[in-house]
Amino acid sequence: MKLCVVGTGYVGLVTGTCFADSGNDVVCVDIDERKVAALNKGEIPIFEPGLSELVMRNAQSGRLQFTTDLASSVADAQIIYLAVGTPQSDDGSADLTALKCVIDECAPHLREDAIVVIKSTVPVGTNTYMYNRLSDLTGRDVDCASNPEFLKEGAAIEDFTKPDRVVVGVRRPEVAEVLQELYAPFLRTEKPFLVMSPESSEMTKYAANAMLATKISFINEIANLCEGMDADVNDVRRGIGFDSRIGFAFLFPGVGYGGSCFPKDVRALASMARQHGVDPRILDVVDDVNMHQKTVLLSKIKSHFDGNLNGKTIAMWGLAFKPRTDDIREAPALALIDQLLELGAKIQTHDPEAMDNVRSEYGDRIEYTEKPMAALIGADALVIMTEWQEFRSPDFVAMQHLMASPVIFDGRNLYQHSEVKRHGFSYHSIGRPSVVQVGA
Ligand SMILES: NC(=O)c1ccc[n+]([C@@H]2O[C@H](COP(=O)([O-])OP(=O)(O)OC[C@H]3O[C@@H](n4cnc5c(N)ncnc54)[C@H](O)[C@@H]3O)[C@@H](O)[C@H]2O)c1
């Protein structure tokens, strides 16, 4: 099939590349000329495992192209995927400016048989808005569909090509049939292709993210409770996770969720609820708990240094909002950096992939080191903000020698108490008692 994907960010680039890899002709369009120029030179603007190789292979075979020319790309395509950003507005709702602009720009160029699919996460009713708008602009019925994306950054290719399910929202079953054919190569393992109304499909995406965010805020609250009661959240997590009704996924306590999706999607759903006269009590609390969780590590740091961080050197491992990505949108590390800078601390950071993105926001207000160990030189404490694999088994002896004082604030519970303490560190983690317990 001939596809056009508008918006070549994390979702659009993965979508376009995976569809090209399954044999379709795909043109990825973006408004950002520098991004398109870079992609045409083989430079991938984001870090996503496996993506670079896949882009190269499909670009070389001619199945995947990048352009800023929306008009001719749309005119040529049977299926137009819209994957532009839908960031948070000031009032918490989703900002549809880019999407609405793209819908209007596409309208005059659509083929008679075109299907326009929204992949961006959009408020319930947006598909209907698009259908009405395209009818007004073209004077005919244009097939529209919702096909939300559930990929995780860091495992995006795997998630896209081996989805747990594909959800589409359509008005006519024939549209679903075309989309099912497009997805067929990824659904060979009998994973479900779920067809519903556009409204249910749009809601499904928000409900999924809100559920996952709720699990994270829930376990964070339990972690905070554990701390006050000398229980160990890691034991509790295992104690509940083995219950098949509960499971382990998204039940890791930490420094709060970040990224470009959970924070904005929880707020957008709450905003939708309010617009419809429903009080989003759970959603508001999930967001509140998360905002509070982003301050938990700072409280521990402040209490350790008796409130005085002026002139202290803090090493920080991990900047990305999660491992295996360079995405720093709403990353908890950035919230902590802001707080530490305000208190006069000096910050030495290391992240395997996200340092360039952080540098473009913070410049030389903080330091960046190419190796994790270099961040520790002369540090009064180490703070761990992202659970990159390379931070899991460090050389504690070498760390001791590099640091001015052996203190670790572990926002991801990477280490065993007993081991860190054996190496002489003062160790502060999330939801675990500071006294070493049986099995810790
Ligand atoms: N990032 C994720 O993990 C993820 C997962 C599922 C769903 N989503 C949703 O997918 C959507 C896209 O997210 P993302 O993370 O890929 O965003 P992104 O910011 O990485 O990419 C958006 C792209 O759209 C481009 N763009 C903006 N206006 C444009 C226009 N008028 N014409 C052409 N291109 C334009 C931007 O230049 C950018 O490259 C959002 O709605 C998001 O909520 C994201």
pLDDT per residue of the chain (440 residues) written in tens, 0 to 9:
999 999 999 999 999 999 999 999 999 999 999 999 999 999 999 999 999 999 999 999 999 999 999 999 999 999 999 999 999 999 999 999 999 999 999 999 999 999 999 999 999 999 999 999 999 999 999 999 999 999 999 999 999 999 999 999 999 999 999 999 999 999 998 899 999 999 999 999 999 999 999 999 999 999 999 998 999 999 999 999 999 999 999 999 999 999 999 999 999 999 999 999 999 999 999 999 999 999 999 999 999 999 999 999 999 999 999 999 999 999 999 999 999 999 999 999 999 999 999 999 999 999 999 999 999 999 999 999 999 999 999 999 999 999 999 999 999 999 999 999 999 999 999 999 865 554 44
Asked if residue 198 has its Cβ within 6 Å of ligand 1, the reply is no
Atom 32, ligand 1: which residue's CA is nearest?
A: 31
Task: Verify whether residue 261 is a known catalytic residue.
Answer: yes
What tokens were used for 372? 């994790």
Q: Which helix (H) or strand (E) holds 405?
A: none
Beta-carbon count within 10 A of 24 CB: 20
Asked if residue 8 has its Cβ within 6 Å of ligand 1, the reply is yes
Atom 4, ligand 1: which residue's CA is nearest?
A: 11
Q: Which of 11, 15, 109 to mutate to test ligand 1, by most ligand atoms within 8 A of the CB atom? A: 11
| Closest ligand 1 atom number to CA of residue 94 | 41
State which amino acid sits at residue 394. P
Report the number of secondary-structure helices (H) and strands (E) in the chain: 16, 14
Q: Residue 127 — φ and ψ, nearest 5°?
A: -65, -40
Asked if residue 121 has its Cβ within 6 Å of ligand 1, the reply is yes
Q: Which DSSP string do the residues of 362-390 spell out, in sequence order?
A: HGGGSEE-SSTGGGGTT-SEEEE-S--GG
Atom 39, ligand 1: which residue's CA is nearest?
A: 9
| Closest ligand 1 atom number to CA of residue 156 | 3
Atom 36, ligand 1: which residue's CA is nearest?
A: 7
| Closest ligand 1 atom number to CA of residue 120 | 41
DSSP-derived letter for residue 70 is H
Asked if residue 106 has its Cβ within 6 Å of ligand 1, the reply is no
Alpha-carbon dihedral angle through residues 126, 129, 130, 133, given to the nearest 10 degrees: -160
Residue-level pLDDT at 238: 97
CA 126 to centroid of ligand 1, rounded, Å: 16
| Closest ligand 1 atom number to CA of residue 153 | 3
Distance CA 127, CA 86 (A): 14
Q: Which of 10, 36, 150 to mutate to test ligand 1, by most ligand atoms within 8 A of the CB atom? A: 10
CA distance readout (Å), 216 to 44, 45, 92: 31, 29, 20
Select which of 4, 106, 144, 261 is catalytic: 261
Residue-level pLDDT at 329: 96
What angle (nearest 5°) sits at the alpha carbon of residue 319, between those of residues 216 and 331?
Answer: 45
Helix ranges restricted to H, 250-329: 262-275, 281-304
Q: Which helix (H) or strand (E) holds 340?
A: helix 332-342
Atom 28, ligand 1: which residue's CA is nearest?
A: 98
DSSP-derived letter for residue 252 is -
CA 6 to centroid of ligand 1, rounded, Å: 9
Alpha-carbon dihedral angle through residues 338, 376, 351, 311, given to the nearest 10 degrees: 10
Residue-level pLDDT at 228: 87
CA 410 to centroid of ligand 1, rounded, Å: 32
Asked if residue 157 has its Cβ within 6 Å of ligand 1, the reply is no
| Closest ligand 1 atom number to CA of residue 152 | 3
Asked if residue 326 has its Cβ within 6 Å of ligand 1, the reply is no
Exposure string for 172-208, b = 16+ CB within 10 A, e = fewer: eeebbebbeebbeebeeeeeebebbebeebbbbbbeb
Distance CA 8, CA 4 (A): 11
Residue-level pLDDT at 218: 98
The answer to whether 268 and 88 are in contact (CB under 8 A) is: yes
CA 218 to centroid of ligand 1, rounded, Å: 28
Asked if residue 31 has its Cβ within 6 Å of ligand 1, the reply is yes
Chain centre distance of CA 162:
18
Q: Quote the longest CA-to-CA distance of the chain.
A: 74
| Closest ligand 1 atom number to CA of residue 45 | 39
Asked if residue 4 has its Cβ within 6 Å of ligand 1, the reply is no
Q: Which DSSP string do the residues of 190-202 spell out, in sequence order?
A: ---EEEE-HHHHH
Residue-level pLDDT at 190: 87
CA 270 to centroid of ligand 1, rounded, Å: 21
Atom 43, ligand 1: which residue's CA is nearest?
A: 121
